Amino acid sequence: MSLQVELEHYRDVLIVRLRGELDHHTADVVRFKMEEAILHGNSAHVILSLKDLLFMDSSGLGVILGRYKQLKAKGGKMVVCDVNQSVYRLFELSGLFKILPIHENERLALTSLEVVS
């Protein structure tokens, strides 16, 4: 179980794919891996791809919001894609979907970032 974080750099976009369960226990791994990639990679923007995210709670919201702020401070954009219904509900409750654009899949997310950059 647990959580796997897959990072892929594509042009100036960092694609982060989360697989498994994102809770307080696994949030640190996401935080450190993404922090490192945002600070030291050459990517301007981030796509958070959640197709294989099986579970998330408010600890996930915290770590996503943290990376959003980090990226925003650098002038980058963060978008989310492949959000399942339960994760969408958490985004809705917390108001996170007002600041994070949600796209159907990675391709559409990439297209949206190429338009804005």
Partner 1 sequence: MNGRNEMTLSFSARSENEAFARVAVAAFVSQLDPTMDELNDLKTAISEAVTNAIIHGYDSDPSGMVTIEGVIEGDVVKLTVRDKGRGIEDLELARQPLYTSKPNMERSGMGFTIMENFMDGFDVCSEPGQGTSIAMTKRIESKKALFN
Nearest approach in angstroms of CB 1 to partner 1 is: 6
Per the DSSP assignment, residues forming a β-bridge with 80 are 48, 102
Give, as one character, the DSSP assignment of residue 20.
Answer: E
Nearest approach in angstroms of CB 67 to partner 1 is: 9
Give, as one character, the DSSP assignment of residue 102.
Answer: E
Q: What is the CA radius of gyration of the chain?
A: 13
* Residue 16 · residue 48 · CB < 8 Å: yes
Q: Which is nearer to partner 1, 5 or 27 (CB)?
A: 27
Q: Which is nearer to partner 1, 1 or 115 (CB)?
A: 1
Q: How far apart are the first and last CA of the chain?
A: 36
Tokens standing for residue 42: 């050459």
Nearest approach in angstroms of CB 50 to partner 1 is: 14
Q: Which is nearer to partner 1, 73 or 115 (CB)?
A: 73
Give the Cα-Cα-Cα angle 45, 74, 83 (nearest 5 degrees).
Answer: 35
Q: Which is nearer to partner 1, 95 or 114 (CB)?
A: 95
Residues that bind partner 1 in the complex, under the rule CB under 8 A? 1-2, 21, 23-25, 27, 31, 55, 57-59, 61-63, 65-66, 85-86, 90, 93-94
Nearest approach in angstroms of CB 89 to partner 1 is: 8
